[in-house]
Amino acid sequence: SITTQPKFRMNIGNQCCVFLSIFLCISICLGEDYDLDDKTGLGRSFDGIGGLSGGGATSRLLVNYAEPYRSQILDYLFKPTFGASLQILKVEIGGDAQTTDGTEPSHMHYEDDENYFRGYEWWLMKEAKKRNPNITLIGLPWAFPGWVGNGENWPYSFPDITASYVVSWILGAKQYHDLDIDYVGIWNERSFNSKYIKLLRYTLDKSGLERVKIIASDNLWEPISSVVIADKELQDAVEILGVHYPGTNTVPEALKTGKKLWSSEDYSTFNDNVGGGCWARILNQNYVNGKMTATISWNLVSSYYEDLPFERDGLMTAKEPWSGNYVVESPIWITAHTTQFTEPGWTYLQTVGHFTHGGSYVALTDERGNLTIITETMTHDHSVCIRPPLPSYDVTAQNVTFHLKGTFASISELQVWHSKRLHFILRCPWSFSIELDVDEVYTFTTVRNGQRGSYPDPPPSAPFPKSYKDDFDVSGNPYFSEAPNFADQTGVFEYFTNQTDPGPHVSTLRQVVTQRPVTWVADADQTISVIGDYQWQDLMVSCDIYMESVHTGGVFIAVRVNKGGGVVRSTRGVFLWVYADGTYKVTNDLNGMTVLAEGMSGTRARVWYTLTLTVKGNYASADLDGYPLWKNAVLWEPRHGWAAMGTSSFELAQFDNFAIEALA
């Protein structure tokens, strides 16, 4: 008999997931046969499925959600047997630099500076641990504050400085947040550095962090695989060989090392149903093809402005804290096919592989009688990932029969989770048959506690408010060191309490990065933080500003800012600049090459001023402390974009009483 349990129905786009019970009995089996057997031994140990917050600033808007929506999103990500039930959380060790969609603040802006309450990654790790105490935590630096490079745009010229910097973050996680970091990654797109890896291992051990393991090179299979084989000291230092976007394949040298192999960054694909198909295919085939025992999605949650690079490349979408709207996307439930019915420490069977007519299957056991089988039949066009290119292949509907052998022969009942729709199941002695259509995922399991977590629908989607104000009162945002909804693109803007001059500007937002960071992205020469609705056209922005650099100070406010992320240095818009030398200018670009107007402002450092910039149609005008600086500067492009503020270089400056009025 077949018993359906419709209360477990799960939406995946226009698809659904249903649990039902299969009672195995005697019958005649037809179709292709596949054995699931442990009598000849087992495969590699499963290490988990995870998500990546960072690389960069991809969870930026999540912390600004009001309750209960913020906790609901976190439950869909981390709560066991509820949604994605993630088993790994990897976060960026902030480096004050642009690393894809924004900057994340460092715990050490300067050599003599330490603060372990900046940014949102501490908060996120604690929320993940609250829901799943067994979740694996990983930290990886994508970039570093400028002082770490000691004048060079390279973090490994002074490996002792870099190692101490990274280890201080791990120690701070424990001391200030009671977080035990399990792994630390080493990444740089140019190469890996053997000397640094060994020194990092030594520094970890000397600091009492022997349990913290190293993932390297957290980029490519080679040359590290070959070097690990030849270098015993390096082999002892590295626990995991991690790779980014492997296309489900490994290389012979990596297998020869005997190390655990992880896809330590993968997916990076728009989270519609094709993205769900990509994720389903690689979760199975990373092991079937490449013997990778963990896969980590970049990114965890698409919680950054949609018009920044790689929009919606997350397991779910949460980009509107002002409305409370979020969307539980297809990849959340695809993840659940594995994570709700396995745990790290389970073991893959050796008898896993590809179906004759396309698709793949894996099977895992806890070696205590439990068995979980996951099948996928994703067609090429339904499972293309953003990278690498996917060769052509065919998948057709097929009937398959699984024969349970070895210790599994005594299993009499399996739960089934189906991603699409139900098919007839033919029951056989110690085996079962299933007709697999294309673009389906099934989980067959002895684990009975899987479920679909659900909450009432969140509020409807809504654009950013047309009228918006922030006086940067630090007491109003206890979780995060940066103001709600601002997305720092170069530099770091964080709350600052003026204890020496407790006047009307006692609590401000301060740009704190004073040296170009060590980074793989070409950060702009200016610092900039964006906010608002990318579709805004006619807008009035005002802000109180305070330049701290006496001779070289300069700040701006801007509208119609049309680029962010790694290409922010080429952004255009309308930028109103004032300088400590008493001048102003209006430019059509961030780097100040296209000047629309300029003149004398009388501004100087260490004095508060109020700037107002208004753009309507093809005309722009500005006021300084209520007095016109100029009127009707003519501009043609861009036609829309974010509001922004920033500084003319890496310098200290303060901002207060920021306000926006959208005029159209």
- On whether the CB atoms of residues 260 and 225 are closer than 8 A, the answer is no
- Helical spans, DSSP H, in 472-589: none
pLDDT band at 119 (very low <50, low <70, confident <90, very high): very high
The model's pLDDT over 63-106, given as tens digits with 9 standing for 90+, comes to: 999 999 999 999 999 999 999 999 999 999 999 999 999 999 99
Q: What is the mean pLDDT of residues 303-308?
A: 97
C-alpha pair distances (Å), 335 with each of 12, 239, 419? 11, 25, 11
**Given this model, what pLDDT does residue 165 score?**
98
- What is the C-alpha to C-alpha distance for residues 420 and 592, in angstroms, rounded to an integer? 54
Of 111, 152, 189, 233, which residue is the catalytic one?
189
Tokens of residue 463, six digits: 């654009």
Position 4 scores a pLDDT of: 26
Q: What are φ and ψ of residue 77, in 5° steps? A: -85, -45
Work out the angle between the directed axes of helices 121-131 and 159-177 (0-180°, nearest 10).
50
Which phi and psi angles does 148 have, rounded to 5°? -65, -35
Q: How far apart are CA 345 and CA 587, in angstroms?
A: 58
Q: Which residue has the tokens 């940066």?
A: 482
The radius of gyration of the chain's CA atoms, rounded to the nearest angstrom, is 27
Per-residue pLDDT, averaged over 480-503, amounts to 88
Tokens of 344: 């790290």
498, 535 contact by CB (below 8 A): no
pLDDT for the residue 190: 63
Mean pLDDT throughout 283-291? 98
Average pLDDT over residues 553-562: 97
Number of separate helices (H) and strands (E) present in the chain: 10, 38
Average pLDDT of the segment spanning 351-375: 97
pLDDT tier, 475 (very low <50, low <70, confident <90, very high otherwise): confident
Active site residue 127: no
| Other beta carbons within 10 Å of 268 | 21
Residue 307 has pLDDT above 60, yes or no: yes
Question: For 192-206, what is each residue's pLDDT tens digit?
Answer: 789 999 999 999 999
Q: Is 85 helix (H, G, I), strand (E, B) or coil?
A: coil
Task: Respond yes or no: is residue 265 known to be catalytic.
Answer: yes
Q: Please give the Cα distance from 33 to 613 (Å, whole number).
A: 71
Instruction: For residue 634, name the pLDDT band (cuts at 50, 70, 90).
Output: confident
Percent of the chain with pLDDT over 90: 85
Say whether pLDDT at 191 is over 90: no
- Looking at the predicted structure, is the pLDDT value of residue 8 above 80? no
Q: Which pLDDT belongs to residue 503?
A: 74
Residue 302 has pLDDT above 60, yes or no: yes
* pLDDT above 60 (res 166): yes
Q: DSSP E strands: which ranges in 251-406? A: 260-267, 294-298, 317-320, 325-327, 347-349, 353-354, 360-365, 371-376, 398-404
| pTM assigned to the model | 0.95
Q: Which residue is listed with tokens 């980590």? A: 296
pLDDT digits (tens, 9 = 90+) for 448-463: 999 999 999 999 999 9
Q: What does the block give as tokens for 197?
A: 């890896």
Which domains does the chain possess?
42-445 (3.20.20.80), 467-662 (2.60.120.560)
Supply the pLDDT for residue 426. 37
Catalytic residue among 265, 320, 376, 482, which?
A: 265
